[in-house]
Structures are given as C-alpha cells and as structure tokens.
Amino acid sequence: MKIQQLLRRQSVVAIGFLAPSIFGFAIFYLLPFALGVVYSFMDRTIDGSFVGLANYLELLASDSFRKASTNTLLFTGISVPLLIVVSLLIALLLNQHIFIREWLRTAYVLPLVVPVASIVMVWQIFFDWNGALNGWLHQVGHERVDWMNSEWARGVISAAYLWKNVGYNIILFLAGLQSIPTDYYETADLEGAGPFRKLTSITLIYLIPTLFFVVLMSIINSFKIFRETYLIAGDYPHDSIYMLQHYMNNMFYSLDVQKLTAAATLMVIVIFILVLGMMTLERKFRQFME
C-alpha cells in the first residue's frame, strides 16, 4: 500500500509539473490545428458552409501546390540520407582517439547555437552574385554562377540544411556509439575480426535504434528548412526550392485560409504516416533483436 501511495503521489507531482506545458501546447498548437482542420472543409471561415473535400480536390489540382510538394519530397529524399551518412561518418571519427577530436567536437556544436539571422547573412554573402564564392571562381578563370536563381539553389539549401543539423545528429550518434558495450569489440578482436567486420556486425547493428530516431528527427527538420530558405531567397524563390511552406505562406498573405489549412493538414498527415512507419519498423526490429 505504501508503494502504491508513493507512486500515486509521484504521479500527481509529475502531472503538476507537466500541466503548464500541456496547457500551452493545447492552447497554441492543438486547438489552432483542430480549428484549421475544420476550416479546410468549409467554404469560408465566417458563417461558412460544409463543402466536403472540395478544398482538397482544388488544392491537389493546383500546379503551385504540386510543384511545392514535389520539391519538398525531393529535398527530403536527397538531403536526409546525405545528412545521415555525413553525420554518422563524423561521429565514427569523433568516437576514435584522434588528436583533433576536441576541436571537432567544438566545431560541430557551433551551428546549434548560432542565430539563424547570422547564418543567413553568411550564406547570402557567400553565395551572392558578387559574393565570396563567385569571387574565388572568377580568380581561377571560371564564370560566375547565379546560385540562388538557378538549379544550384537546391544544392545551396541542402548545404545549409546539412550545416545546421549535422551537429545535432552527431551528438545522437555519439551517444549511441558510446552505449555499445566494449566487451563486444574485445571479443571480436580475440576472434580476429577486422575493422570492417566490427563496423558491420557490431557497430551498425547496435546503432539501429539510434539510427531510427536520427532519421525521424532529420525528416522532421527537413520540413523546417523554410525558415532558412525564406530568409535567403524571399517569398518567391527559384522553382527548385519552392517548398510547401512557401505555398502556405503565400496562401496566408492572400487570406486563402481554406487552401492554407488543407495544405497544412495534408502535410501533417504525411509526417504522421512517416513517423508511424518509422516507429513500426523500430518496434519490429526490437522484437527481432529480443
């Protein structure tokens, strides 16, 4: 009985600490999103009538929405795997005893603490028509490149995404690497396993739970690249980097709430399906390992 009373008392205390966050999340996120879902089925926000899926059908027929959706999925499909590979390789490097390890650990944390406005200013100066990169190209005899008004814009945004998020993923990978028992590696050494065999049979296998979480967070962060893209390229960037958030932002400016809320609902559904799929795969992997 005393244990049950203690657990009950701890539960009450925990709920008390969580209550402000839950209340704030409900007021500023959950309720507005629920209202947005309702508006997506109406013809107008004030005294509107129910129109079913008409707003969604009109949205799917929009060339701008299809272009924004394609660009967003293409950006996620290219940038996320690249980010995973780069961050994993750096984490494996930092997990070794190398003389520049401490310097590298400081370097990869810097993008996490630098304000976004400062990042954008650096990228604008670097990739501007008269920027540093074009200046270097001109010095070696190459023509200048209009980075943000050509197909190169997608590469610039991908580089900014990698630079901004690689440090966070490295921290997660390092935590996963350091949680692997060293006994496994010592046993592998006694059996004569080489570095590649230990990497594939021990490191990557026991890093899969961390990998699932890193992939999930990387996908979610890829949908948040709008901030950097908007500050670098403006409201109407090059077609290759016109993302879903650009579309919704423009719908907000034109007060087309129905298309805005329908697009937001579809994006949340896609993210939810991706998250659910990743969680299902992770659960099946844990059952397989057990």
- Residue 33 covered by a domain: no
Are 112 and 171 in contact, with CB atoms under 8 Å apart? Answer: no
**Average pLDDT value for residue range 29-54:** 83
Distances (CA, A) of 266 to 23, 50, 147, 271: 25, 18, 31, 9
Instruction: Specify the CATH number for the domain of residue 88.
Output: 1.10.3720.10
Residue 115 is classified by DSSP as -
**Average pLDDT value for residue range 148-163:** 85
- Residue 10 covered by a domain: no
Q: According to the model, what pLDDT value does residue 99 have?
A: 64
Q: According to the model, what pLDDT value does residue 101 have?
A: 63
pLDDT band, residue 247 (cuts 50/70/90): confident
Three-state secondary structure call for residue 201: helix
**Average pLDDT value for residue range 43-55:** 82
Are 36 and 265 in contact, with CB atoms under 8 Å apart? Answer: yes
**Average pLDDT value for residue range 256-263:** 86
Q: Is 188 exposed, middle or buried (0-12, 13-18, 19+ CB in 10 A)?
A: middle
pLDDT at 182 over 70: yes
Residues 127-147, buried b or exposed e (16+ Cβ, 10 A)? bbeebeebeeeeeeeeeeeeb
Three-state secondary structure call for residue 9: helix
Identify the residue with better confidence: 9 or 39: 39
**Average pLDDT value for residue range 191-196:** 80
Residue 228: closest CA among 82, 90, 70, 122: 122
pLDDT at 1 over 60: no
Q: According to the model, what pLDDT value does residue 226 have?
A: 79
Q: According to the model, what pLDDT value does residue 130 have?
A: 76
Q: What is the mean pLDDT of the chain?
A: 82
pLDDT cut 90: percent of the chain above it: 5
> Rounded distance, CA 83 to CA 216, Å?
12
pLDDT at 264 over 60: yes
Distances (CA, A) of 223 to 8, 44, 87, 217, 219: 40, 27, 19, 10, 7
Tokens of 57: 């059908």
- Total structural domains in the chain? 1
pLDDT digits (tens, 9 = 90+) for 96-152: 766 666 666 666 777 777 777 777 777 777 887 777 788 888 788 788 887 878 888
| Chain length of the chain | 290
pLDDT band, residue 83 (cuts 50/70/90): very high
pLDDT digits (tens, 9 = 90+) for 206-215: 888 888 889 9
pLDDT at 85 over 90: yes
Three-state secondary structure call for residue 130: coil
Phi, psi of 50 (to 5 degrees): -70, 125
- The predicted model scores a pTM of 0.81
Are 257 and 39 in contact, with CB atoms under 8 Å apart? Answer: yes
The DSSP element (H or E) to which 29 belongs, if any, is: none
Are 228 and 120 in contact, with CB atoms under 8 Å apart? Answer: yes
Three-state secondary structure call for residue 50: strand
Which structural domain, as residue segments, surrounds residue 168? 60-289
DSSP string of 64-120?
A: HHHHHHHHHHHHHHHHHHHHHHHHHHHHHHHTS--TTHHHHHHHHHHHHHS-HHHHH
Phi, psi of 179 (to 5 degrees): -90, -10
* Segment among 3-7, 79-83, 153-157, 179-183 with least mean pLDDT: 3-7
- Residue 20 covered by a domain: no
- Residue 109 covered by a domain: yes
